[in-house]
């Protein structure tokens, strides 16, 4: 079992698409860390007081910003549809 077996498909994509191994490993490590961020769900706002609502809104905005920042440029996304 190699150390790459536990990587997400997206982290493996980073590894396979960078020529510089050091850079690829760095990106894969960050991607693995960010998988934990993606697993978080936005916090629901029901039942919270004003302070709790403000904190949850801030958390949801931060989570959305992180998820947006993690998107690779559209021209680097892996091709998933076969051309006929």
- Condensed to tens digits (0 to 9), the pLDDT of residues 14-63 reads 777 765 556 666 667 777 776 666 666 565 656 666 666 666 677 777 77
- Domains of the chain by residue range: 1-38, 44-69
Amino acid 73: pLDDT? 64
- Flag whether pLDDT at 77 surpasses 60: no
Q: What is the sign of the dihedral through the CA atoms of 74, 76, 23 and 9?
A: positive
Amino acid 84: pLDDT? 45
Amino acid 13: pLDDT? 75
31 burial (CB, 10 Å; 0-12 / 13-18 / 19+) is: buried
Mean pLDDT of the region 67-73: 71
| Structure tokens given for 44 | 């629901």
Model confidence, pTM: 0.31
């Amino acid at each position: 079992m190699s150390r790459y077996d536990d990587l997400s498909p997206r982290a493996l994509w980073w590894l396979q698409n960078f020529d510089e191994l050091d850079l690829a490993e760095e990106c894969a490590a960050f991607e693995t860390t960010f998988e934990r961020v993606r697993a978080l769900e936005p916090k629901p706002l029901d039942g919270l007081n004003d302070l709790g609502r403000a904190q949850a809104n801030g958390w949801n905005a931060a989570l959305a910003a992180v998820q947006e920042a993690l998107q690779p440029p559209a021209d680097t996304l892996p091709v998933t549809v076969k051309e006929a």
